[in-house]
Amino acid sequence: MMPESDVDISQVKGNASPEVKRALLSSLQSMQPNNVSRSTGKPFRGFGAQFVSRMQITEASVLPMTEEPEKFEGRVVFEMIVDEDMLNGAGNMHGGCLAMMIDTCSTAPFYVLGAATRGQGVFGVSQSLNIVYHSPALPGDKLRIVNTTLALGSRALSSRCEVWSVTRHRLVASAVHINMVPSESSKL
């Protein structure tokens, strides 16, 4: 993993501090492990690593909530291009591939809001991911994945995600993601 001081944040807009942006980018890079496959003995970076490495964070912000201006929400925006290895048999982006990206991207605003307001970012683990697919994403489409927090509790976290085709000006998918912060394992 690259030291946080070496992480380039120059392309990340938004009002999150440079420290929060660096910590977020560094944390996302650490989610891309380099493992050796047990079955083949060859290097393997994990199911989502090849796709996560193609996503670019374009914004990281902490904003007053529209409905409750005394509270804040985290907002993180990613962009990526739909490549051939992301497609299903019909030639559209595979729903499972899109779900994995939503799962990863929609946790980022928890980290930004937690780091900015509590001094520590957190990702949590998924409890529920509810996705509505609105229109297909096609090869070459540029996607904008917009993620905002709904609630950041001490154990329960929730966010919403909208995936837009910038190329075709269409909503591709929307989702609500519920995460939890697991408790420490007790030693038996």
Q: Give the range of the structural domain holding residue 160, as residue numbers without chain letter.
A: 10-17+54-180
Number of structural domains, the chain? 1
Tell whether 34 is covered by a domain.
no
Tell whether 25 is covered by a domain.
no
Say how many CA atoms lie within 13 Å of 140 toward its Cβ. 2
Tell whether 47 is covered by a domain.
no
Which CATH number fits the domain that encloses residue 143? 3.10.129.10
Q: Residue 82 has which token pair?
A: 């739909």
Tell whether 185 is covered by a domain.
no
What Å distances lie between residue 78 and 21, 50, 59, 115, 187, CA to CA? 13, 15, 7, 19, 39
pLDDT digits (tens, 9 = 90+) for 109-148: 999 999 999 998 888 899 999 999 999 999 999 999 999 9
pLDDT digits (tens, 9 = 90+) for 64-107: 999 999 999 999 999 999 999 999 999 999 999 999 999 999 99
Tell whether 23 is covered by a domain.
no
Beta carbons of 77 and 146 less than 8 angstroms apart? yes
Beta carbons of 113 and 74 less than 8 angstroms apart? yes
Tell whether 101 is covered by a domain.
yes
